[in-house]
Amino acid sequence: MQASASIHSNDTLQIDGVQLHSRFLLGTAGYPSPQVLAQAIDAAGTQIVTVGLKRTLAAQGDNGFITMLQDKLRDGRARLLPNTAGCRSAREAVQLAHMARELYATHWVKLEVVGDEHTLQPDPFELVQAADQLVRAGFTVFPYCTDDLVTCRRLLDVGCPLLMPWGAPIGSGKGLLNPYALRTLRARLPDTVLIIDAGIGAPSHAAQAMEMGFDAVLLNSAVAHAKDPVVMAGAFASAIAAGRHAYHAGVIPVQDFAVASTPVGGAPLLL
């Protein structure tokens, strides 16, 4: 069977009325060339790729990356999810989201409002405020948030259809730093689409998230900065598929002591 992030045809992810077969969302920054990014998107089988916006005077030429992505968009093979990276307040994020909607012609937005420069940790207060305004303005908000349960509930209360809690700080590659909090989120919000976003470094981290019952994974650096981004994109696709299969199959509970697997009875056989 070919490894793929799509599991089987009826195990789809529903977002904003859109049926997605892939549970792998991929960032587009930091690739060595548009061609490598295009191949990585194909290897990942992703159907949602994230993009950004930058002030024109500060932006260098994009060397064809955006043109390539827009071509893929026209093929219908990928949807663009613009982000509000770099925003430090609700006001900035709301303004940038409106500009993203104009520029990318989509009402989907990955809402990022950072509250700490060192960790790039989301600011929960500004995030909820921005999400509230954007939902009222007709956006479908994908909030990048921490694993704090109450903040997540507030984001759902204002109309976010899903949540994107961090695994670890952006670009850190540390994996799932707080599995307890993430398990709690999954348990307390069983019907919410939860996408682990940020901090994933290795395919095993993505598999772990999927085994825990998360609905999808969003990552960028782990693929873009790999020695071979295309092969790594395929590796993540396999891991996400494996983790999803394992979640459905049911991972056995952890035991403190050995549990014999060979049914030899209580005493060794001496012939």
Partner 1 sequence: MQHVQIELDGKPHAVPPGSTLAELIASLATPAESVATAVNGALVAGDQRALCLLKAHDAVLVFRAIVGG
Whether 110 sits among the annotated catalytic residues: the reply is yes
Q: How many angstroms separate the first and last alpha carbons of the chain?
A: 45
Question: Phi/psi of residue 193, each to 5°?
Answer: -70, 120
- Fill in the per-residue mask, 68 to 107: x = in contact with partner 1 (CB under 8 A), - = not in contact: -x------------xx-x-----x---xx-xxx-xxx---
Residue 65 CA to residue 189 CA, distance in Å, equals 37
Total residues binding partner 1 (CB under 8 A):
35
Catalytic residue among 54, 72, 110, 174: 110
- Least distance (Å) between residue 12 CB and partner 1: 24
H/E stretch holding 235: helix 229-249
Residue 76 CA to residue 4 CA, distance in Å, equals 19
129 is a contact residue toward partner 1 (CB under 8 A): no
Among 8, 11, 30, 32, the residue binding partner 1 under the rule CB under 8 A is: 30
Residue 168 CA to residue 170 CA, distance in Å, equals 6
Residue 45 CA to residue 23 CA, distance in Å, equals 9
Question: Residue 230 in contact with residue 36, Cβ under 8 Å?
Answer: yes
- Fill in the per-residue mask, 104 to 123: x = in contact with partner 1 (CB under 8 A), - = not in contact: x-------------------
| Cβ nearer to partner 1, comparing 7 with 97 | 97
Among 3, 36, 66, 189, the residue binding partner 1 under the rule CB under 8 A is: 66
| Cβ nearer to partner 1, comparing 183 with 225 | 225
Among 4, 24, 41, 52, the residue binding partner 1 under the rule CB under 8 A is: 52
Among 24, 31, 142, 247, the residue binding partner 1 under the rule CB under 8 A is: 31
- Least distance (Å) between residue 80 CB and partner 1: 9
Q: Work out the number of other CB atoms within 10 angstroms of the CB of residue 76.
A: 8
* Max Cα–Cα distance, the chain, nearest Å: 85
> Which residues in 190-229 contact partner 1 (CB under 8 A)?
220-221
Residue 204 CA to residue 75 CA, distance in Å, equals 31
Q: Work out the number of other CB atoms within 10 angstroms of the CB of residue 107.
A: 15
Type of residue found at 96 = L
Residues that bind partner 1 (CB under 8 A): 27-31, 37, 50-59, 62, 65-66, 69, 82-83, 85, 91, 95-96, 98-100, 102-104, 170, 220-221
Q: What amino acid positions are annotated as catalytic residues? A: 110
